[in-house]
Amino acid sequence: MGDFRKKYVCIKKDKEFRFLFNKGESIVSYAFICYVRENKRRVNRIGIVTGKKIGNAVKRNRARRVIREAFRLIEPLLREQSKNRYDFIFVARAKTTELKTDKLYSLMNKLIIGKYGKKNEQK
């Protein structure tokens, strides 16, 4: 499609997932695990993994939605604060299902913006 209106794009291919798992930096928290790597495209990209361990289809969907919503809120902040664009892969954990988007949002703010936002300001 390649339209510029979309703020972020999904990662779909298995190769890219494996690449990120191997070579990305990892951020671990009780709610999720995140693999990040710089990206030479114009947009941020996101992939979400919800394994079978989390539960049934409803819980997996729930985890996916919560992460996506939190990322949607954070994404514009990232764009403002940093010139680079990144690939993210979020792996959901068992506790993700019980959390609300508020908490995830504040967590992401701390971990991701705290790390990648300020780095570039210093440069």
State the minimum distance, in angstroms, from the CB of residue 123 to RNA. Answer: 31
State the minimum distance, in angstroms, from the CB of residue 5 to RNA. Answer: 7
What H or E segment, with its residue span, contains residue 49?
A: strand 44-49
Pick the closer one to RNA by CB: 37 or 64.
Answer: 64
Round to whole Å and give the CA distance between 123 and 111. 19
CA angle 44, 105, 101 (to 5 degrees): 110
Residue that is written with structure tokens 């300020």 in the block:
118
State the minimum distance, in angstroms, from the CB of residue 41 to RNA. Answer: 17
Binding site for RNA (CB under 7 A): 10, 12, 14, 47-48, 56-58, 61-62, 64-66, 69, 72, 100-102
